[in-house]
Each structure stands twice: as C-alpha cells, then as structure tokens.
Chains A and B, each alone.
Chain A
Amino acid sequence: MTDVLKYICKRLAEFIVSILCLAFVIFSLLYLAPGDPARSLVGTKQVTPELLATIRETYGLDDPFFVQFGHWVQGAVHLDFGNSIRTGAPVTAYVAPHAAVTFELVLISLICSVVLGIFFGVVSAKGRGKLRDDVIANVSLVGTSAPSFAVGLFVLYVFALKFGWFPIYGVGEGFVDRLWHLALPAACLTFAVSALLIKITRSALIPEMEKDYTMFMRARSVPTHEVQAAQIRNASAPILTSAGLVLANLLGGTVLVESVFSIPGLGNLLASSVTFHDVPVVQFIALTLAFIVCLASAIVDILAYIIDPTSRRRRMLRSRVAAENWDDPANPPASLPNNTEGGVS
C-alpha cells in the first residue's frame, strides 16, 4: 500500500470515529435539554395525561436514553432517520429541500470566499506595509468582527431597499433568479469568512517571497506570473487546509444569514427545530453539517498531503525510520529533517 493510500485510510478512520462521537454528543445534548416535544405539539390547550402518553409513545420519548440512541443508530445505518415530530414527515424528505438551498448558498459563498480571499491575500502580501495592505487588513477586520445579521440588514437596506438592485427575501426560481436572490446573502457570508483566507494567504505568501528560489527565479528573468504561481503553489498547503475551516464558518454563518434573508435553508430549519425540540430533525441536520465539515477537513488534509512535497517527504522519512525500529519519539534520528521549508516543486 502506498503512503498516500495509507494516509487516506488513516484519515477516513479518524473521520468515521469523529462522526460517531459527534452523533452521541449531539443526541446526549438534545436528550438533556429541558422541554418536551409532545407538549410542544399540543400547546397550552388542555390535554389529558393519557393523550400526552400516547404521543410520547408514538415517538418513543419515554424509552431510556440508550434505547432511544440505539433505535436512532439502527435507523441511521439503514438511512432511516425517523420522522419529524412537528410534521410527521420522514426527516430526510423534510430536510432535503432545505439542504439544497443551503448547499447552493454555501457553494456560491465558498467559491467567492476562496477567489476573493486568495486574491486579496496576494494583493496584501505583495503590497505589505503599503496603503492597500492596511486597507485590506482593516476591511478584513470589519468582516470578521461585524455580526452577520447586522451586515445583512445593512446590505438589505442599501442594495435591496434603496437601490432596488436585489430582492429583499426569498430564493427565486430558475438558475438566474436563484443566483440573484442568493447574491446578497452570499456576499454577507463571503464578507465574514474571506477575511480568514486573506490573512492566511498573506501570512503564507510573505515567507515564500523572501526565499532563495524567488530570488533565483527573478535573477534568471523568469516571468513575474510564473514566479507568483510558484510562490502560491508553495504556500498552498496552509491555504488549502484553512478552506476546511472556511467551510465550517460558512455553514455556521448560515443560521443568522438565512434568518435575515428569509431563506428556507438548513440554518433556518435548525433554529426553528431547536426551539420546537424536534429531536430527529435537529439530530439529522447537526450530523449532516458535522459530516460535511469532517469530510471537507479530511479531503483538504489528504490534498495537502499530496500537494505539499515537504509534508509528504517528512512523512515518508518518518515511516522509513519507524520501519527501522525507531521507537523513541523524543530522540529522532538525524536523518529526519526538522526544517520543513520547501523549494520549487
């Protein structure tokens, strides 16, 4: 088995363990949260204990914790995540349309965040110490610190109400209309998370600009765009790894942004389902989001491993040393390099 394949297997195993742990933690938290879904169904009206008991029995709410969790895991293995307590509909059918909207929103935001984040990160790194570097740093600071609901309302007021360029709410129908409706919410999410990528890109790129290979390439009159491409390629590992973090931030940010723009997505549904104590729906959404974040994290780690030659070389040496019975991590052999700085790959 190649090193890459071994690494993929190891990362996938970690991914599965993480998902199982998260499933248990989420289920436990929902179980411990105060409130009773059966009571939420009937509201403040008079209800006999018998009727309440029937509703509770229907959804297995009286079973012990581990029995409930066992039922859930058993169903989940067969892709049956139960029925929504609030609507009675199968969870997957109920959540699917919401998930589609959120994934479209997150995809648009992710693309914009990566493109803008890397672009302005490069601009900032190239102009470090100059005015444009300061401007980008300050705008990024606003992006990371301003609450997304406030930014959302601001852009709604300016670009939707005053200028009338965008709709105030909803998701539209058809590709172009959908894009038009999701433009402002995606801009809000992008504004909030691209700052992270700008900062990471800048930090990763500046050392590359000072390395010897940059100087030699310039000395040999290699075209500027080729020099920059080499720098970016060599700085790509931390940028790529941070993309997983960006995805997590984007998914988390949808709760507030979807609320402000009245988008019927996962974030909105999650918030209302938590309020209603619709356990099967909350469990499914939370796990779906966790699944995506863990999967994205695993994929970027694997990609980073493949792309970054120093990381790969370092791991290869480690495994070779391990094969030579090196079992004292405190005293690595001299053959194992500690300097991970790379060159042109």
Chain B
Amino acid sequence: MKRRIVVAIAVVFVFVFALSACGSRKAASGSPLVIGVAGSLSSLDVNQEAGILNYYVTALAQEGLVGVNNDGELIPTLAESWTDEEQTVWKFKIRQGVTFSDGTPLTADDVVYSIENAMDPTASPGVAIYFPDYVEKAEATADDEVTVTLDGPHANFIISVSNTGGLFVRPRAWGESADAPGSPQDLLVGTGPYTATEFEPGSHATFTANEKWWGGEVALKEVRFDFFADENTRLLAFTQGDVNFALNVPVDQSEQWEKVDGATVQFLNDRNYYGLTFDPNVAPFDEEHVRKAVAYAIDKEGIVNGSILKGHGTPATAIPAPEQFAVAMDAEEAAAKLAEVTHYDFDLSAAKAELAQSSVPNGFEATITYPDSYPTTGQASLVLADALKDLGITLHVKEIPLDQWLNEIGGGQGVGWMIYGPTTLEPGEITMWLLDAEGPGYNPANWTNEEVTALTMEVFGAPDFAAQIEPTLKSNSIAQEQAIYAPVWWGQAAIAYQGDTQVKDYNSMSLLGSNWPQLFVD
C-alpha cells in the first residue's frame, strides 16, 4: 500500500514537471509591455463602455480628428488642419493616405459616420451623453474635407472631436456590419498606432504595432493589458515579473508594491474630485447653517494625511483640482487661486456655532451612502460621522453597490458623495455640470441660482480654455458660500513599474495621448 502511495506521489510530481516544461509563461512570449489592470473591460469600444481605462486602451487603436500630446495640448491627428467660421462652421481637412487596420482607406464619409455614430445614444451609450447636442449637421464637403455646422458659436467644440472628448473614428462599413463593435468577435478597427489583435474580457487585450501607421514607426511591437479580478494576484504577478507596469495601485497596498525588487511606485495627482453634495430641497439641509455645520466638521487634513489616504491626495478647497487649470497656469499658481475660493476648514467650534443658529441646534439624524468600489469615501464618511457626534448629529454610513449609487445621484438625498474623474483638461469640465444651477435635474444638488447659471453659460461660451477659469472660480465661490458643495480632497493615483520598464514624464494625461507607449521607450 505504502509503495503504491509513493509511486502515485512520484507520478504526480513527474506530471507537474512535465506540465511546467511544456507550458509557456505568459511573460515569455516575446517582450511585450504588459500592463496589469485591476478589473476588466467588457468592450474595447468607448462608444459602448466609456470608463477611463477604455479611453486609455482605445487610444492605441482608434484616433479622433485631433489628439493630445503628453501635456494635454491639442495636436492634429486625422485632421491635418481646421478652420472655424465664427466658431459655428468648422471645416476639417482630412489627412490623406491613412488606412484603417482592416486595410480600407480613411475617407471623409467615415469621419461623418463616426460623428453621427457618437451622437446616437442607442449605438453609442458610452459617449452620446457627452457629445455636444449643439451639432446641427456633419457632412463630407470634399474628398478630404468634413464640415460640421453648430447651432451657434462654440469655441470648445474642437475638444469634442478629439479622442479625449469621445470621438473615435471608425470605418462606416465596419461600424454598420459589426454586431457588437469592440467585442472579441468584432475587434476594433481604427487608424491608430496599434491594432487590436486579441481581446478576451476578464483575461487580456493585446495590441500589436500598426506598421502602416501614418505617424511613422511605432516603438513597441506589442502592448498587452492583463486583467486581474483580485489585487493580491496582481501584486504576485508583478512580483514574479509577469507584469511590467501597473495602473491604479491601491494606496493601502503601495508599501507592498514598493518592496518588490527594482520596483518604482509613483504617485501623481489625477485631478479626481471627491466631495460632498448637499441638496437644499431636503430638510434639514435646506438650511445654510446646517450645511455649513457639516462642512466645518470635515477633517480634510486628517482624512488626507491620516490613515485613510496616507498623504496620497490633497485637501480640496474647490471643485476643480489645480492641474485642471494647466492650460493657463502651473499647479502652484492654480492652487493659490483655488485657495481663495470660499471653503471651510475643519473647525468644530465653528460647526457648533453654525448648528446653534439652525432650527435643529441639538442635532438630527441623516444617512450618507458611498459606492462599494470607493472604500476611502466610506472611511472618510466614518471620520465625519465621528466628528458630527459632538454636534449631536447622527450620521448613518451605508455602503451600496456602485450602480445603485450612480442611480441615486441627484435623487434627493440630503447629503451624498460626488466622485468625478475628468477626461479633458477643460478647466470648467466638472463645474459645467455640478454648477449648472438652473434647478432640479440640472445638477446633482438640484440647486437653483441665477448668477451661477449665467456664469456657467459664460464658461460654456468662453472663447478659449483659459477664459473658462475666472467664471469657474466665481461660480465655485458662490456655491461654496452657500455650502452647496463641500470639496473634501483631490485624488492621487499610483502607478508601478519595474526592471527595464521605465516611464518618462508620466502625468494624468499621458495615457490619453497619441501613441502613448512611446513614453515607455528610452
């Protein structure tokens, strides 16, 4: 019996070694740049699924009429040049000699189709909501020219035809024949520096160099995104060297990532906004004193520099992060301007004084929910609830699924979290929504303010991005004077890389740039 067991164990070991010898490690197949991603993509088509990761991935294979460089500045891509007549009639000269990855040539008609497709909410639920509804028509006015007519002057329209604005040019024939563009069965077709060659949701997406790219030679032959459902497994894969580069390393795990031999973990401000929204139509938050009392009770410094964010964030004084003003000033100057916006630093005495002037001086009960995929907002809510106890306010903190939380935004909660990650460098991107103060339904606070509405229109109609800054600052001040929004922190993201993989000049716009894998080449 014993001998048989020994033989059985020996057989198992031989089998294991045979498998080890025959199997191929993922990282050994060539030397691709392997990017470890937490979570997965369901579709490579941004028109269908428009998370920030989709924008990064799709930027490899599809391009807009314009693109951005590593600093977020607009650069010509599929449109060689453009003109605008009074910012209403925009003419784009389409680059000639460009071919899609399926071998068909790029035509003006493909561009028209791509614009119309992006505006169709049924075909493109991911981007139709952002694509401007002021576009009256798009037409091919010459073989190499597309004319887009707007309903009036819109200086910022140009950003809408960039990949960061949500335009990804695709061939009409492919778009109309594909059952599910961007799925494994209908891999992306585009003009970008890379071609989507494999996509297995939950596993990986592989892009190989497009030798015929109009922009010239592509430095890396292959870029692969490996998807991980479990953060611990991603760390093990990074430790093993199977993954060269990782996005969104969790803050609470960053020390373990730093311990990996030869690893570099780099934190950078990602311009994400995290803050509280108060609905002035819901008691007791219909009283300014109550809103201010809660705003004063937020220990922003403690949340950012304590055990929750461990210093990986910045206490926010307004809604847009300083880096959002990069088109006109550096982050330091922007931070100084944003610090002048009315805001409330942690002060429990001031909070008590405000609450004493309200109709609920002895406190009240309220509930705040946070999405399960953003645990730091839950921890920050508990810190706030603890501080509010001193004021007699009982704040119930409740975790809910992300989609439920999304569904509840603007749904009449007295107090709630707002988390927003801008995809463009437009200074007014976030505030054009949060401070669109025309009333219920227009902003998540369901707030009305004529002066702010006028300022928002000024932001919309600004002749250039820099001109958005002043009205943005003013409208922020008015909203925060009334404590409609209580900004808590501006986020940071961490990336990790190791070994031979190095990243140059990485910033929050880097992976949106045209041919961004170039950053990984010396």
Docked Cα-Cα span, A54 to B123, in Å, equals 11
Closest to B423 in A: A45
**Least Cβ–Cβ distance between B121 and chain A, in angstroms:** 5
Does A296 belong to the interface (CB within 8 Å)? Answer: no
Binary flags per residue of A153-181, CB closer than 8 Å to B gives 1, else 0 = 10011001100111111111100110111
Residues in chain B near residue A157, CB distance under 8 A: 236
Contact B20 A44 (CB under 8 A): no
Q: Does B121 contact A54, Cβ atoms closer than 8 Å? A: yes
A28 at the interface (CB under 8 A from B): no
Q: Which A residues lie within 8 Å of B183 (CB)? A: 87-89, 93-94
Q: Given A97-B200, A177-B22, A272-B40, A259 and B230 touching (CB < 8 A)? A: yes
Do B180 and A90 touch across chains, with their CB atoms under 8 A apart?
yes
Q: Mark A36-66, 1 if CB is under 8 A from B, else 0.
A: 1111111111111101001100100000000
A235 in contact (CB, < 8 A): no
Q: Which of B170-227 contact A (CB under 8 A)?
A: 179-185, 200-204, 226-227
What is the minimal beta-carbon distance from B7 to any residue of chain A, in angstroms?
A: 14
Q: Quote the shortest CB–CB distance from B356 to chain A (angstroms).
A: 35
Q: Which of A37, A97, A161, A181 contacts B239 (CB 8 A)?
A: A161
A47-B129, A97-B200, A262-B233 known; A54 vs B122 contact (CB < 8 Å): yes
Let me know if A262 and B436 touch, CB within 8 A: no
What is the distance, in angstroms, from A318's C-beta to the closest C-beta of chain B? 43
Return chain B residues, CB-CB under 8 Å to A149. Answer: 230
State whether B407 touches A39 (Cβ < 8 A).
yes
Chain B residues closer than 8 Å to A42, beta-carbon distance: 50, 125-126, 129, 406
For window 404-458 of B, CB contacts with A under 8 Å fall at 404, 406-407, 409, 418-420, 432-433, 436, 441
Known: A168-B242, A177-B24. A264 touches B406 (CB 8 A): no
Whether A262 lies near B227 (C-beta < 8 A) is yes
Q: Does A268 count as interface, using CB distance less than 8 angstroms?
A: yes
Flag if B180 contacts A87 (CB, 8 Å).
yes
Is the pair B19, A156 in contact by a Cβ cutoff of 8 Å? no
Contacts of B436 in A (CB 8 A): 46
Assess whether A86 is in contact with B233, with CB atoms less than 8 Å apart.
Answer: no
Please tell me which one of the listed residues B19, B42, B122, B402 contacts residue A84 in the complex, with CB atoms under 8 A apart.
Answer: B42
B518 interface contact, C-beta 8 A: no
A45 to B50, CA, bound (A): 10
Encode A71-93 as 1/0 by CB contact (under 8 A) with B: 00000000000011011111001
Cβ contact within 8 Å between B16 and A40: no
B-chain residues with CB within 8 Å of residue A207 when the two chains form the complex: none
From residue B425, how far is it (CB to closest CB) to chain A in Å? Answer: 16
- Residues of A near B401 (CB, < 8 A) are 34-35, 275, 277
Q: Contacts A49-B441, A165-B16 known; A86 to B129 CB distance under 8 Å?
A: no
**8 Å CB contact of A45 from B22, B229, B233, B433:** B433
Instruction: Name the residue among A47, A48, A173 with the largest chain B CB count within 10 angstroms.
Output: A47
Q: Does A198 contact B (CB under 8 A)?
A: no
Contacts of A37 in B (CB 8 A): 403
The reply to whether B185 and A172 form a contact with Cβ atoms under 8 Å apart is no
Q: Is the CB of A176 within 8 A of B22?
A: yes
A121 at the binding interface (Cβ < 8 Å): no
Chain B 80-128 interface residues, beta-carbon cutoff 8 Å to A? 121-122, 125-126, 128
Query: Is A139 close to B, CB under 8 A?
Result: no
Which residues on the A side are within 8 Å of B201 (C-beta)? Answer: 87, 94, 98, 264, 269
Closest to B124 in A: A88
Q: Which residues of A contact B346 (CB under 8 A)?
A: none
Q: Once the chains are docked, how many angstroms separate the CA of A47 from the CA of B436?
A: 12
Question: How many angstroms between the C-alpha atoms of A275 and B406 in the bound complex?
Answer: 12
Q: Is A261 an interface residue (CB 8 A)?
A: yes
B23 at the A/B interface (Cβ < 8 Å)?
yes
- A164 CA to B418 CA in the complex, in Å? 44
Q: Are A160 and B43 in contact (CB under 8 A)?
A: no
- Report the minimal beta-carbon distance from B257 to chain A, rounded to whole angstroms: 15
Bound Cα distance from A1 to B203, whole angstroms: 51
Contact A181 B403 (CB under 8 A): no
Determine if A110 is an interface residue (Cβ-Cβ < 8 Å): no
Q: Is the CB of B49 within 8 A of A272?
A: no
A260 and B42 CA atoms in complex are apart in Å by: 19
CA distance A136 to B183 in the complex (A): 47
Write out the residue numbers on chain B whose beta carbons fall within 8 Å of the beta carbon of A260.
Answer: 229-230, 232-233
Contact flag A180-B239 (CB < 8 Å), given A97-B200, A170-B203, A261-B233: no
Structural contact, B121 and A88, CB atoms closer than 8 A: no
The answer to whether B43 touches A88 (Cβ under 8 A) is: yes
Contact of A169 with B202 at beta-carbon distance under 8 Å, contacts A160-B236, A181-B23, A275-B401 already known: no
Report A-chain residues with C-beta under 8 Å of the C-beta of B520. none
Residues of B within 8 A of A269 (CB): 201-202
Picked from A34, A45, A166, the residue with its CB within 8 Å of the CB of B404 is A34
Which B-chain residue is minimally distant from A47 (CB atoms)?
B129
The answer to whether A160 and B202 have CB atoms under 8 Å apart is no
Within 8 A of B (CB), among A236-273: 258-265, 268-269, 271-272
Interface residue A307 (Cβ < 8 Å from any Cβ of B): no
Known contacts A161-B236, A272-B40; is A176 also within 8 Å of B403 by CB? no
Asked if B240 and A168 make an inter-chain contact with CB atoms under 8 angstroms apart, the answer reads yes
Is the CB of A8 closer than 8 A to any CB of chain B?
no
- Asked whether B25 is an interface residue with its Cβ less than 8 Å from the other chain, the reply is yes
Nearest A residue to B227 via CB reads A262
Given the interface pairs A54-B122, A180-B23, the reply to whether A264 lies near B230 with Cβ below 8 Å is no
Give min CB distance, A293 to chain B, whole Å.
22
Name B22's closest neighbour in chain A (CB-CB): A176
- Which residue of the partner chain A has the closest CB to B405? A35
Question: With an 8 A cutoff between CB atoms, is B152 at the interface?
Answer: no
Q: Is B389 an interface residue (CB 8 A)?
A: no
Of B19, B130, B182, the residue contacting A87 (CB under 8 A) is: B182
Any chain B CB within 8 A of the CB of A31? no
Q: Chain B: which residue is nearest A37 at the CB level?
A: B403
Quick check: is B506 within 8 A (CB to CB) of the other chain?
Answer: no
Contacts of B49 in A (CB 8 A): 41, 86-87
Measured CA separation A141–B134 after assembly (Å): 66
In the assembled complex, the Cα of A88 lies from the Cα of B181 at a distance in Å of 8
A183 close to chain B: CB less than 8 A: yes
Closest to B20 in A: A165
Most buried by A among B129, B401, B420: B129
CB pair A46 B433 closer than 8 Å: yes
Is B403 within 8 A of A88, CB to CB? no
Query: Can you name the residue of chain A whose Cβ is closest to the Cβ of B129?
Result: A47
Closest chain A residue, CB of each to CB of B238: A168
Inter-chain contact B22/A93, CB cutoff 8 Å: no
B268 interface hit (Cβ, 8 Å): no
26 A-B pairs (CB sep. < 8 Å):
A34-B401, A35-B407, A37-B403, A42-B125, A46-B129, A49-B441, A86-B42, A89-B180, A90-B179, A97-B184, A98-B201, A153-B232, A161-B239, A161-B240, A167-B25, A168-B237, A169-B26, A169-B242, A170-B203, A179-B23, A262-B202, A262-B203, A262-B234, A264-B203, A268-B229, A269-B201
Besides A36-B406, A160-B240, A165-B20, 7 other A-B contacts (C-beta < 8 A) = A51-B128, A51-B129, A84-B42, A86-B49, A89-B43, A90-B180, A161-B236
**Top 3 A-B pairs, shortest CB-CB distance:** A264-B202, A180-B23, A89-B180
